[in-house]
Amino acid sequence: MDLNLLHLFVAVAETGSFTQAAQRVGLPKSSVSRGLVRLEDSLGTQLLHRTTRRVSLSTAGLALYERTASLLASLSTAVGTLPERTEEPSGELRLTAPHDLGVTLLPEVIARFVARYPQVRIDCRLTNRSVDMVAEGFDIALRASGGRLADSSLRMRRLGTLDVQLFASPSYLARRGVPRTTEDLAPHDFVAYRGLKHLAELGLTEKRAHVLADDMLFLREAAKAGAGIALLPSFLALADVTSGQLVRVLPRYTMSTTSLTMLHPRAQHVPRKVSAFRDFLIDFLQARPLSPNPGTG
């Protein structure tokens, strides 16, 4: 049954007038009249007694009104108060990101975001696996990816670039020497992210890596402990370069960059909580990009 026709019926029943009902629902009087005829036809019974002066309910019409009016009012209230229909972003925002990016970037972003939008509750899941956003119910995913989006059910927004550079501890460089060219890298030990393409740019394979791992924060700590030269996103090493715990190796050598992207499921109407977080994160990264120059050491 068409609920719009029931809304028309309730408006007529409560006002006792096609004219007043039309004013209430914002439709021409003729549209209201035709709608009531369609409703009666679909139910196979007369709902209204029509005279030149007024409209009254039949026995069937009174029964229908008593059984549906309160339900329609409750339904209208429920739909009107949905979180995504309010002007203020609200509801639960399910967010996922790689562990290293999440630990480094998201705490401050989320703290500022919920301070601005206190009706939003953040459920943040940090994992290095590529989640199925739709199946697992995530609203937003942050990923470091340089490729095209293969899943047509998702929408991608590029947020910036992540520069991967070479870093090592002062103690390691004092022990093994400071490389001056890429050719000087051959005898050195490396700590690298499993599957990261940048080793190949140096003419190396994963077999040449002294330490392989699937977490950039672990690799950063291993480099600080002197395990070897690490291939790290510059934003992860910035604070340690500033404090002197890490040194930029081959500072003039620029490796290819990786894109930082934000994904969310395609929808005709993007939820306000999603668009608000997207815009907030874009503004945050414009003011504080993730690829500053960490210094030359």
Contacts of 296 (CB under 8 A, 6+ apart): 248, 251
The per-residue pLDDT for 198 is 73
The per-residue pLDDT for 77 is 67
Q: To which residue do tokens 């006002």 refer?
A: 15
CA distance 204 to 188: 11
- Ordered by where they begin, the domains of the chain are 3-81 (1.10.10.10), 92-297 (3.40.190.290)
Burial status of residue 205 (CB atoms within 10 A of its CB: 0-12, 13-18, 19 or more): exposed
What are 154's two structure tokens? 């998702």
The per-residue pLDDT for 126 is 92
pLDDT by 10-residue block (mean), the chain, 297 residues: 82 88 85 89 88 82 88 72 64 92 91 94 90 86 71 79 91 95 90 79 77 90 95 90 94 80 80 90 87 52
CA distance 287 to 289: 6
Based on its alpha-carbon atoms, the radius of gyration of the chain, rounded to whole angstroms, reads 31
Q: Is the pTM of this model over 0.85?
A: no
